[in-house]
Copies of this chain bind each other. A is one copy, B any other.
Amino acid sequence: MKKIGVVGLGIMGEPMAEHLLNAGNEVFVYNRTACKAEHLAMKGAVVCSTPAEVAQHCDAIVVMVKADAEVEAMILGANGILEGAQAGLIILNSSTILPQTSKRVAQLAAEKGIIVLDCPVTGSGIQAREAKLTFMVGGNREAFEQCLPLFNVMGKQAVYMGESGTGSYMKLANNSLMAINLLSLVESLTMAYKSGVDPEMFLEVVNGGGARSAVAESRIPKIIKRDFVPAFSTSMLYKDLGLIYELARELQVPTPVLASVREMIHTAVVKGYGDEDVCSVIKCYEELAGVEIKKL
């Protein structure tokens, strides 16, 4: 495939489009706020005025937008991808949405002979720029294999999870894991700090043993430096936790730990930390415990 579309040029979509360009593809882009496409246009991308127009040109289209409603608008809506698409098109929907939405969109597209893979990613803007994303892919397996060269250009790994919707499921499970791992750190660190443990020694012990985690490596240093610039914002995590919680009800899986984590992330949003990094939830604990964590 040589003609690839990218719909949604945010913090994730833009670098993904750039990697596709650099790999020698003809790239057609669409973004609601058109000026965001200028940088890519200078690098040779063709800027289209609707998702339907992108679809007229392409064999595959990456969709990377914020939520279920946007995905539906871009694919199913007026001037959406399905309006311009020919049978055989593959849509790679990398947006984080409900598995049910992924399944429904895939079914509607299938009626026109168009395949939709749900292929959300782990990793944030940094990993997108470095092409180190991991794609979790649900849907038609042959289409997955056909798209491997594209996944490899945009990321380091693509894992086939199962039928349509399983990619979306896995993404939510992964975010749930990260959120709970984060809260484990925040509670333990607050306790350890209040009892006289230096947070840098805390990090050293955690990294050296059975409590080691990617979240500890990335977030404890941010907390010690009081750096709440978002790598992943509290309000985005809160949105995802809402999706996961809804999903758990539907799957009839009780999730008492997730429920308490969601409440604490909700507290952080209410306290005004929505636009800060997820690790800003530490400030809720600090306030309750009457401390501020810093290097001793």
Interface range for A: 35 or more
Identify A253's interface contact among B174, B187, B247, B248, CB under 8 A. B187
Q: Is A48 an interface residue (CB 8 A)?
A: no
Q: Which of chain B's residues have a CB closer than 8 A to the CB of A197? A: 161-162, 166, 169-170, 173
**With A252-B289, A260-B259 in contact, is A191–B165 under 8 Å at CB?**
no
**With A257-B261, A261-B257 in contact, is A213–B173 under 8 Å at CB?**
no
Partner-contacting stretch, out of A49-57, A60-68, A198-206, A222-230: A198-206
Q: How far is the CA of A180 from the CA of B189 in the complex (A)?
A: 13
**With A197-B166, A251-B289, A257-B180 in contact, is A206–B174 under 8 Å at CB?**
yes
Closest Cβ of chain B to A207, distance in Å, is 10
Closest Cβ of chain B to A260, distance in Å, is 5
Oligomer copy total: 2
A-B CB contact pairs (8 Å), 25 listed = A123-B210, A134-B208, A156-B208, A166-B196, A169-B195, A172-B191, A173-B192, A174-B209, A176-B187, A177-B206, A178-B211, A180-B180, A180-B181, A180-B187, A181-B211, A181-B213, A187-B248, A191-B244, A191-B248, A194-B251, A210-B215, A212-B214, A213-B214, A251-B289, A257-B264
Apart from A122-B208, A160-B201: 10 A-B pairs, beta carbons within 8 A: A123-B210, A172-B191, A175-B211, A178-B210, A180-B188, A187-B257, A187-B258, A190-B253, A194-B252, A210-B215
